[in-house]
Amino acid sequence: MPRLLLDTHIVLALLRRNFDQQFRHISRHFSVGGVTGFVSVATLWEIAIKSRLGKLDTGMRLSDIPANLKLGRLEILGIDVAHVLHTLDPAPPTRDPFDRLLLAQCHVEGLSLVTVDRALVDHPVAFRP
């Protein structure tokens, strides 16, 4: 049973209800069942920061996001000390702290990262549909 951690742009597409259109090649894997999807607290933090800076519109109140994710049967993954201290190998070709934390969470928790981010799609933990 695949255990998948969703990158921020995937979560935003789900919240905006255009995931199936925007990521058809990925969405069909979710419709077959048996998939456990996770959203990191780091992703929620990134969305909150960018929303408050006016760089992002989620289309809903920030406080409504967790409930919407749970309605979509997604589990929220907290940030643990093991995630923060995990040394990534191979190191990702990104300096983005949110991306680095998502990759560390995948390593520690045995998850695959669902992303179309060019800097991450070739990483060993990236989900390959």
The residue segments making up the domain with residue 110 are 3-114
pLDDT in tens, 21-66: 877 777 777 766 778 999 999 999 999 999 999 999 988 999 999 9
The 8 Å CB, 24+ separation contacts for 16-22 are 16/58, 16/59
Q: Write the burial class of residue 12 (CB in 10 Å: 0-12 exposed, 13-18 middle, 19+ buried).
A: buried
pLDDT in tens, 20-31: 787 777 777 776
In a domain, 125, yes or no: no
In a domain, 127, yes or no: no
In a domain, 120, yes or no: no
Confidence of residue 89 (pLDDT cuts 50, 70, 90): low
pLDDT value at position 90?
A: 60
Number of domains in the chain: 1
In a domain, 121, yes or no: no
pLDDT value at position 105?
A: 96
The whole-model pTM stands at 0.91
In a domain, 122, yes or no: no
In a domain, 12, yes or no: yes
CATH number of the domain enclosing 29 = 3.40.50.1010
Three-state SS letters, 40-89: EHHHHHHHHHHHHCCCCCCCCCHHHHHHHHHHCCEEEECCCHHHHHCCCC
